[in-house]
A and B are shown apart, each in its own frame.
Chain A
Amino acid sequence: MKFSVAKSELLQALQSVLSVVPTRTTLQVLSNILLETDNTKGVGKLRLAATDLDTFVIKTLPVNVKKLGNITIPAKVFADIVREAPETEIEVSSTDTRVEIKFGKGVYKISGLPKDDFPKLPQVNLAKQIKINGADLTNLIRKTIFGVSTDETRPALNGVLWRTKGDRMEMVATDGHRLAKISLINKKLKGMHEDVIIPPKVLNLLTRFIGEEEYDVGIIFGENNIIFSLEDVILSSRLIEGPYPNFEQVIPKDNDKKLVADIESLTSTVRRVAILSNTLTHQVKFGLKRGAGASGGSLELSSVNFDLGGEAKETIPCEYTGEDMEIGYNANYVLDVLKQMEGEKVTFELSTSVSAGIIYSVPQKEGEEYLCLLMPLRLVE
């Protein structure tokens, strides 16, 4: 294999795949990056791939291909050499497992491993891909990924559920205490029926790669993996084994008490009151008092810290016509949810002090249905 390319372009490409190279691994080839040249239709390309066995990143960039071939090179060393090289053309060539990197008057040689040792790259079948706008995708991910669980004892919850039914696309994440669910209508999905659980690592990488771009992202659902195809980067990840718990069941249907509050003032008040909350549970108590008429209700937020001997109490106006009640929440969970609410006001649909509350913004963003569930804390006197 032999190709040449400008140092800056090679370095940039390398940096995008480096993030997935594992720092500790027992399979030596994983510390290497796969390089493969391609010359289809006379266009010279280089494919760089790295993986930690769970996530793959494949970056393609145009290069001057002199001879086709492939090899894997130790990632860190290769990146260091390219980084320190002068701003000039770099030529990389390999025979068997010896790799030579040349630029100006310098010749650098390292030993690599054959491509066969490297895990098989995911097959990208473009015919099966569906396209979704990058900004929409980022929005979906942002609104759900905070709810993903980190509890090792329930692995299915350690990812985001992505479900498509007819022309509707749903993303759900829950850790057993809070749940975020967003659904969109996407005409391009007609007829597909997928149900996959995606690890958060690849979704985070995806949002990073999409950045501020507006273009479409291609998505291919595999049996065991999911592939995201951007302009010159392909991300792929193993899917998490299911089954995902039946979350539809836990969405309450008869929450009869409705609280509507201004998002900004609720957020800042909860944040303040939380300063003096219990350091373990971060408990903030919501004291709801019914108002005369639609907008006369009040919400008293309070907290107590036994160790500091501190307590806080602040009341904000709200719309509430249900019975007076008290309910406790982990302040951090509340703030996480409120952060994702768009619009001016937020609605809490409640029932009892020990059951789930449904939270959604008023008004909802056009075309999307987004709600969060939050389980309370058992109130302790």
Chain B
Amino acid sequence: MIDFENIVDQELVKKILSGALKKDKLAHAYLFYGEQGVGKWAMGLELAKAVNCENKKIIPCQKCNICKKISRLIHPDVRLIFPLPPLEGKSESQKEAEKQKLIRNLKEIKTSDTYATLRFFKKTTISVDEIREMKNHLNLKPNEGKKKVVIIKDIENLSYSGANSMLKVLEEPPGDSLLILTTKSVDRLLLTIVSRCQLLKFSLIPKDFIKGELEKRLKLSSKKASFIANISKGSLGKAIYLAQKEGPLAQKKAKDFLKLCFENDFSETIDFVEKVSKEYTREEVLELIDGCILVFKDLSSISFGCFFSEAEKKEKLKDKDLELLRTFFKSFSQIVIGIREAEKTKRAIEQNVGVDLALLAFLIKLKDKKELMVK
């Protein structure tokens, strides 16, 4: 019996893969595509376990040595390739050490929760060297397992030459191998890569499922889990991130951002906006704005005296930044306007309006409200 219990929802994908496994008609290369945080990576791991697990009754059993090693991302025959940001080290050995550390961190995040999203500040790439090492691995017979598995995460980050160098091995992987590629958007991929894979679409996860997972994995209260599930737009990964980021430290960035807008004069604000739009990726900026929305939510909680729990109440009332921001957003209607403008700004950025323009417009509108408030 095949049981993908670790995967949330995705019934169609589960059906197709179980069917293929049962009939022993698994493709040698899959392209999982869909939003971030909906289970592509998680399924890749489960599939890797399924094809190597030694249990006779149920696969993957999660209990045998092989399943455990794969879950911990240390199985010698299951190779994982992540896109990485540019390294800052000056010498080769410095860069190498940096890279090892980075990958170890990424693996830690993914072992804590397979749905956890990996976030980077700079543009990430998959190097041609990684592809070469992967080919070397595929060209040798397996170490411990039955099948060699390679999971390449977010393959849209692969360079043109890297993609070309893997066409042959994707077309005919040597021996018994399974390649799983994941991506957010098929359109950005080379046709020659896509044509060599079986495509599987991963859909958005329904809110109820996300709520349930948040309650189960992070022990959130029903109310909070519901709130976060609502703003996660179908991505469990994002929901986990938001839930973890709901801590006081995490929202610091958004608070600092808002404070800057109201505390300083306009030219400094402009400089800051320019800095943000240069150094942050688009995703980062969207998150910042999400953070602002959560701050507004906190302000409204304080304003109404309405909290999820006693502990939270204490925490929020102690927060100095929130206290300061409350002086700029005295009335509830102002807070609502703030949230509305934040949503508008997010939409604008998603539709490719320049980040610096959108942020500036956002801050100007917020300041205007401040002026309005004074009047």
Contact = CB atoms under 8 A, between A and B. Distances in A.
Touching chains A and B, CB distance < 8 Å: yes
Interface of A: 24-29, 53-54, 116-117, 119-120, 152-153, 155-156, 158, 199, 223-225, 238-241
Contacts of A155: 135, 139, 174
Contact of B103 (A26, A223, A224): A26
Contacts of B74: 27, 29, 117
B139 A28 contact: no
A254 to B, nearest CB: 34
Contacts of B347: none
Contact of A224 (B99, B132, B143): B143
Given A29-B74, A240-B139, A241-B174, A24 B144 contact: no
Interface string B90-115: 00000010011001100000000000
Given A119-B144, A241-B175, A158 B100 contact: no
A28 B136 CA distance: 19
Interface string B157-175: 0000000000010000011
Nearest to A196: B141
Contacts of B139: 155-156, 158, 240-241
Given A26-B100, A241-B175, A224 B76 contact: no
Interface residues of B, number: 23
Contacts of A54: 136, 140
28 contacts: A24-B100, A26-B99, A27-B76, A28-B100, A28-B104, A29-B74, A53-B76, A53-B143, A119-B143, A119-B144, A120-B143, A152-B132, A152-B135, A155-B135, A155-B139, A155-B174, A156-B139, A158-B139, A199-B140, A224-B143, A225-B143, A238-B140, A238-B141, A239-B140, A239-B141, A241-B138, A241-B139, A241-B174
**B132, B138, B139: residue with the most chain A Cβ atoms closer than 10 Å:** B139
A27 to B, nearest CB: 6
Contacts of B142: 224, 238
A225 B144 contact: no
B144 A120 contact: yes
Contacts of B72: 117
Nearest to B177: A241
A144 to B, nearest CB: 19
B276 to A, nearest CB: 33
A224 B137 CA distance: 13
Given A53-B76, A152-B135, A241 B104 contact: no
